[in-house]
Amino acid sequence: MNRLKKKIPSHTPWWCVMTEDQFQTSVIQVAKDTGWMLFHDYDSRRSTAGFPDLVMTRNGRTIFAELKSQRGRIRTEQKEWIAELEKTNGIEVYLWRPSDMDEVVEVLMRQTTPHSDSITRGMRSAEANGTHIGRPSVWTRPGFTDEWRTIKEQLDNQEISRRQAAKELQIGYATLKRILDADG
């Protein structure tokens, strides 16, 4: 029996007829071209149901992406994974379809996370208002300046090691090294 292929109207956008596999191949190629390390389980039958299709990482960013054809349905397990991953700080979670290809390229080419610019602006604003961000300086600790003078003298006279000095001052070795480097 001769089966005729269904004719697709010429005005149909390319992404309407793209399969999930074809779309996935395209996304993987863009990720590789833009320097992402990625994981895709090629045999998902042995994987946890609903786990996203791609996990990608580059320059401190991690992306979980679920890929679907234009009309593909999202299973309950996939919705659960996406919802749980979206609660996790520091990762990006996407559900992409072929019509989202412009967004895919934009996201994968971006060097920073979407909110990193607003974080940087907030930190600069806080500093401009005199608000300290991060751990307090050891120099603000009561009595530290006097302790430092005593320990510095012992170090100069080689009476104690740097490790002992850090322990006496109750600071990390790296902090002691920064203080010594700044002190000249």
How is the chain split into domains, by residue range? 14-112, 137-183
SS3 of residue 54 by DSSP:
strand
- For residues 38 and 32, give the distance between their C-alpha atoms in angstroms, rounded to a whole number: 8
pTM over 0.75: no
Tokens of 157: 């006279």
pLDDT in tens, 81-112: 999 999 888 899 999 999 888 899 999 988 76
Of 74, 73, 67, 75, whose CA–CA distance to 108 is shortest?
A: 67
- For residues 69 and 15, give the distance between their C-alpha atoms in angstroms, rounded to a whole number: 8
CATH architecture of 14-112: 3-Layer(aba) Sandwich (3.40)
pLDDT in tens, 131-183: 766 667 788 888 889 999 999 999 999 999 999 999 999 988 888 988 888 87
